[in-house]
Amino acid sequence: MKVVAAGRMDVVRLEKSRFVSFDGGVDVYADYQCPDRYRMLHADLGERPRIARGAGYSSAAASLGVSTTIIDMSRFDRILWFNPAERRIAVEAGMTIGDLFRITARNGLWLPVQPGYPAITVGGCIAANVHGKNSATSGTFEACVEDILLFHPKHGEVRIDRTNHYSLFKLTCGGYGLTGIILSAVLRLEPLPGTAVAMERHFVSGCVEALKSVRSLAANGKSTYTWHDAAPVSQTFGRGIVYAGSFVSGDSDILGPMDYRRMTALSRCRFPFSIWSGVRTRAMNSAYRWSEKLQPRATEIPLFKWLYPFAKCPYFFYLFGRQGFCESQVLIPNDRCEGFLQDLQRHIVGKKAPAVCVSLKAFKGTQALLRFDGDGIAVTLFLVRSKEAQEFLQTLDTLTAFWHGIPNVIKDSRLSSSTIRACYPEYTIFREQLHKHDPSRLFQSELSQRLDL
C-alpha cells in the first residue's frame, strides 16, 4: 500500500488490486484509490497516469490500465439537487442510472437514454456517450447532459457546457475519461412517457428481413431491438425476434420491482469454462427462440424490466465462463446495411466463427470525434473468447471499414489504433484536442494506450 499526501490532514491510500475488463480480455493488477472526499481527488499523484472508474461494465479496458492509477468514483453517488418542476437534476458521477431511475420515475420523470444495466454510472454514461434502445428518436447520452463539473489537476475544477468551454464539453461526452474526472453533472429529464411497455415480438428468418421491421418500427417512434441466432450454421443463422416497445400508462406499481442481481467483471467469471460453445450454442439459441414463441405475441412488461433486460437475468454473461466473451458493435450506414449483413453471415458461417448472437438497433445522429453515433444500424455480435474469435474479428474490422462503418471503442477490447484511424474521420482531431487539453497525458487507460490517444 502506498500513501500519497492529499492535504494537510489527509492521506490517500493507494492499494493494489486486480481489475478485469468486463469481457475478460484484459486482466491487470493496478494501484487504485477509492476516495470518498473531494479533497482526496486533489491528492498530488505527481505525473503518474490515472483514470476514473465508474462501475467497470465496459467490455473494453476503458477504466483500467497496467501502469495506471485507478480512481474509483463509486462513493460519489449523491443527488446534489433535484428540481422536478424544471425537470433538472444534479448528481455526482458515481450515481447509478438504476438509482436515478428509481428516484426520478416516482416523480413522473426519467432520462430517455438508458443503457441496458442499472448499475452503470452516470460518469460512465457521459464518458462513453452511451445509447439506449431508442437511439433513433432520443439520440445518445450527451442529449441529456446540460453541464459537467470536470476536474483536471492542471486546470482545477471547471464547469463545462454548451456555452462555456463547448469544445471541452464535446470532447468529454464520449471522451472515455481522458479529459479528467467528471465530478458531477446536471441532467435534463423528460416526462415519463408511460409506466409500462407494451412489447411486441415479431419473428424473422434472417437479419436482412429484420432490417425492414427495425426501420419502420423505429420510424413510428417505437423502441426497437432484435436478437438473432448467430451460430455458424447456414440453415439457422439470423433466425430471430424483433422486439418493439411502446410506452403505456398503467397502474404506477407496474414500474415493477426495481431490484436487480449485481454482477461484476469478476463475479461474471465464476464458471470455469464457457457453456456457449458449438452444439450447446445451437441448442440454447433454439430453446430461447421456442420459449419466446410460446409467449403471447404482445405483452405488457414493467418499464424497469424493459429498460434493463439483464437486471434480473445476467446469466447470458455468466455462461461465457472465465475465458469471457468478445463483443463487437459496429454502426453501418443505412444504405450499406444489407451488404454488410450478408457479408457478416457469409464469413461467420464460412469460417465457423464461435459466434453466439447478433442484435440490431436503429440509430439517428451525427458522427463526430470518437463517438459511436450517426445514421444507420448498430450491429452487435457476441462470440466465445478464443483464438478463432480473435481471428474472425480481424476480418470483421476489414468488413466494417469496407462498408464505411465505425466500431464502438467501448465495446471491443482488442480494436487497434489503425482500425480506429481508418474508420473514424475525426480520429486525429480528437487526438490533437486531447493533447492540447492534457499535454502531459495524465489520464490514460489500456484503451487510450492501445488506440495511441
Ligand X SMILES: Cc1cc2nc3c(=O)[nH]c(=O)nc-3n(C[C@H](O)[C@H](O)[C@H](O)COP(=O)(O)OP(=O)(O)OC[C@H]3O[C@@H](n4cnc5c(N)ncnc54)[C@H](O)[C@@H]3O)c2cc1C
Interacting residues toward ligand X by CB under 6 A: 22, 51-58, 62-63, 73, 93, 115-117, 120-121, 123-124, 127-128, 130-132, 176-177, 181-182, 310, 410
Minimum distance, C-beta of residue 348 to ligand X, in the bound complex (Å): 22
Residue 49 or residue 354: which is nearer to ligand X going by CB? Answer: 49
Sequence-ordered list of residues with C-beta below 8 angstroms from that of 363, at least 6 positions apart, any chain: 131, 135, 136, 331, 373, 374, 375, 376, 377, 378
Long-range contacts of 28-31 (CB under 8 A, 24+ apart): 28/61, 28/64, 28/65, 28/66, 28/446, 29/66, 30/64, 30/65, 30/66, 30/67, 30/68, 30/69, 30/70, 31/2, 31/68, 31/69, 31/70
**240-248 vs 196-204, strand pairing mode:** antiparallel
Minimum distance, C-beta of residue 339 to ligand X, in the bound complex (Å): 25
Residue 146 or residue 335: which is nearer to ligand X going by CB? Answer: 146
What strand order describes the sheet that includes 2-5? 2-5, 11-20, 27-33, 69-72, 50-53
Q: How many residues does the chain have?
A: 453
Q: Residue written as cell 443463422?
A: 237
Residue 179 or residue 345: which is nearer to ligand X going by CB? Answer: 179
Residue 237 or residue 306: which is nearer to ligand X going by CB? Answer: 306
Minimum distance, C-beta of residue 103 to ligand X, in the bound complex (Å): 17
CA dist 150 and 187 (Å) reads 15
Minimum distance, C-beta of residue 296 to ligand X, in the bound complex (Å): 25
Residue 93 or residue 379: which is nearer to ligand X going by CB? Answer: 93
User: Can you say how many angstroms the Cα of residue 182 is from the centroid of all Cα atoms in its chain?
Assistant: 17
Residue 277 or residue 445: which is nearer to ligand X going by CB? Answer: 445
Minimum distance, C-beta of residue 318 to ligand X, in the bound complex (Å): 11
Residue 121 or residue 223: which is nearer to ligand X going by CB? Answer: 121
Minimum distance, C-beta of residue 310 to ligand X, in the bound complex (Å): 4
Q: Residue written as cell 461467420?
A: 348
Minimum distance, C-beta of residue 61 to ligand X, in the bound complex (Å): 9
Minimum distance, C-beta of residue 193 to ligand X, in the bound complex (Å): 18
Contact 110, 142 (CB under 8 A): no
Give the DSSP per-residue string, 58-113. Answer: -SS--S--TT-EEEE-TT---EEEEETTTTEEEEETT-BHHHHHHHHHTTTEE-S-
Residue 148 or residue 204: which is nearer to ligand X going by CB? Answer: 148
CA triple 307-309-313, angle to 5 deg: 150
CA dist 225 and 360 (Å) reads 6
Minimum distance, C-beta of residue 408 to ligand X, in the bound complex (Å): 7
Residue 139 or residue 238: which is nearer to ligand X going by CB? Answer: 139
